[in-house]
Amino acid sequence: MPHATTRDDVRIYFEEAGQGTPIIFLHEFAADYTNWEPQMRYFSRGHRCITYSARGYTPSDVPEGEVYTYEHFYTDALAVLDHLKIERAHLVGLSMGAYSSLQIGLNAPQRALSMTLAGVGSGSELENLEAWRKQCRANAEQFETLGSAEVAKVTREAPSRIPFLVKDPRGHADFYAALARHDSKGSARTMRGFQGGRPSIYAMTDAIAKAMTPALIICGDEDDPCVGASLFLKKHLPAAGLAMFPKSGHVLNLEEPALFNESVERFVTLVEAGRWPVRDSRSLAAH
């Protein structure tokens, strides 16, 4: 099985397909490398596509200790690129993976050709930050005490997941059957360290305003926790565009695969043609 090794000796499982300009896919908390299959099949026709499971998600390693910070997660993506000798790639992330993609754009912009930030920013509201972190700690305890299968039963009808259930009951069932098989210790450590410990997007305004990497923000209009953060990023990222998917929730790449692929393909094509510029100051409203 192919693995990349991180700087702290964690083995990260990856798969790749296709040839061309690289695209690396970064999954959300409830997913793993398999959840990008519709995108791997589509984009590998014209690009070199890489998908991987984050630390804590088998068949990657599930290390012990406090090694699940947001820094670990975004540098793990870079470790996969390093292993494959890829200098720069398009980053396509959903939720947790979108946050990691953003961190690469902020901290290692020379590695990012572009960044697609889908379903980004839940738990970032500063006024609710402590409540969010408390909930993450409680969720981590649920994974430890109940196991992934029981947690999957509880979370599959979370509000932002309902549009997926309504549109595609079969796909929704498959998604949560996969979550039920996740390593419960890895999920608990990720929930406690990454989800409950990452800085709020709203606390990074200055750094975000300096990030010139082309960005596509995608948000479902029924993914309430991410709407505000998506608008915030559109306002402050200099080279950002925003796509709002109608009647859509959180799992955008699976809930609306055709629309997701079309949107990302158009974005990547424009970036590669040099036609996704920083916003022209003339389009900014006077204050």
Mean pLDDT by 10 residues, the chain (287 residues): 96 98 98 98 98 98 98 98 98 98 98 98 96 97 96 92 96 96 98 98 97 98 98 98 98 98 98 96 74
Question: Rounded distance, CA 101 to CA 112, Å?
Answer: 9
The total of structural domains in the chain comes to: 1
Q: Give the domain CATH number at 40.
A: 3.40.50.1820
Question: Rounded distance, CA 19 to CA 9, Å?
Answer: 28
pLDDT at 286: 58
| Residue 147, in any domain of the structure | no
N-to-C CA span, the chain: 56
| Residue 172, in any domain of the structure | no
Report whether 200 contacts 129 (CB < 8 A): yes
All residues at 6 or more sequence positions from 32 whose CB lies less than 8 Å from its CB, including other chains: 53, 54, 57, 58, 178, 182
| Residue 152, in any domain of the structure | no
pLDDT at 81: 98
| Residue 182, in any domain of the structure | no
| Residue 192, in any domain of the structure | no
Please give the full DSSP string across 109-168, using - where no structure is assigned.
GGGEEEEEEES--TT--GGGHHHHHHHHHHHHHHHHHH-HHHHHHHHTT-GGGHHHHHH-
pTM of the model: 0.97
Q: Could you tell me the residue range of the domain that residue 14 belongs to?
A: 3-124+200-279
Question: Rounded distance, CA 76 to CA 52, Å?
Answer: 10
The candidate with the shortest Cα–Cα distance to 53, out of 79, 19, 90, 89, is 79
